[in-house]
Amino acid sequence: MQRVSVLCVGKLKEKFYIDAAAEYSKRLQRHCKFDLIELPEVRLGDNPSRAEIDRALKTEAAAIREKIGSGAAVVAMCVEGKGCDSVTLSEKLQQFALNGKKGVVFLIGGSFGLDEGLKKEADWRLSMSAMTFPHHLARVMLLEQIYRAYQIAEGTAYHK
For residue range 45-61, list pLDDT tens digits in order: 888 999 999 999 999 99
**Is 151 a residue whose pLDDT tops 90?**
yes
Q: Considering only CA atoms, which of 114, 101, 102, 105 is closest in space to residue 146?
A: 105
> Which stretches within 68-134 are classed as H helix?
86-98, 116-121
> Which stretches within the chain are classed as H helix?
15-28, 50-67, 86-98, 116-121, 135-154
Q: Predicted confidence band at 20 (pLDDT cuts at 50, 70, 90)?
A: very high
d(CA 93, CA 45): 38
Q: Predicted confidence band at 99 (pLDDT cuts at 50, 70, 90)?
A: confident
d(CA 116, CA 27): 32
Domain limits of the chain?
3-154
Q: Are residues 63 and 40 in contact, defined by beta-carbon separation less than 8 angstroms?
A: yes
d(CA 149, CA 13): 27
Provide the CATH number for the domain formed by 3-154 in this structure.
3.40.1280.10
d(CA 23, CA 18): 9
pLDDT, tens digit (0-9, with 9 covering 90-100), for 123-147? 999 999 888 888 889 899 999 999 9
For the entire predicted model, the pTM comes to 0.92
**Is 160 a residue whose pLDDT tops 80?**
no
Task: Please give the C-alpha separations between residue 31 and each of 69, 113, 149, in angstroms, as whole numbers.
Answer: 20, 29, 10
